[in-house]
Each structure stands twice: as structure tokens, then as C-alpha cells.
Amino acid sequence: MNILITSAGRRSYLVKYFQEVLSGKGKVFVSNSAPSLATQDADGFFISPLIYSDNYIDAILDFCHKENIKAIISVFDIDLLVLAQNKQKIGKQRY
């Protein structure tokens, strides 16, 4: 199962933890608005638009579709709010 950690920033320890738990049965991807420590350790990453950008959710969903991501994990409270506000749109996606 591939996962995406959004707004990962310097949380490379989370990337390593999920990689260990997945044990090769999935990949850990991260998104961030700029390159960061987490982007260096992840199995893949993308530089996302800023959280309040009009195309933020669409960019996240496009990346999830492209990489067959089944779970989005937010580690930033503002990001979590934006994702929660778009729960219906995110839930309609089929991968």
C-alpha cells in the first residue's frame, strides 16, 4: 500500500518509520511546498502548491492517482484542515 505524507518538512523519521512498517509492501511518498529532509528519504516526492492555493487539492489528487496512493497522512494542522474541508472530493477518487 502506497502512502502520502503531506507537508512532510523535516519529518524524515516518519518516512523511515512507515518504510519499516511497510517492509517493501508499499512505498512512502511525501509532499512539501519546497525540498526538505523528508523529500530526501522518501521513496518518491512532489513539490506541492501552497496549502491555500486553489489547485492544492487537485495537485494532491493527481499525484495520488499517478502513484496509486491509498492513504494520505497529514502532519501539519493547517493542511489537515484543508484536507478535511475537501473530504467529499477526496473520497470520490477511485484508484
pLDDT tens profile 29-49: 999 999 999 999 999 999 999
Q: Residue 74 sits in a domain of what CATH number?
A: 3.40.50.20
CA distances from 2 to 54, 77, 84 (A): 25, 22, 20
- Joined grid coordinates for residue 63: 499525484
| pLDDT higher than 80, residue 95 | no
Q: How far apart are CA 54 and CA 87, in angstroms?
A: 16
Instruction: Give the structural domain span for 73.
Output: 2-91
What domain count does the chain have? 1
pTM summary value: 0.90
State pLDDT tens for residues 18-32: 999 999 899 999 999
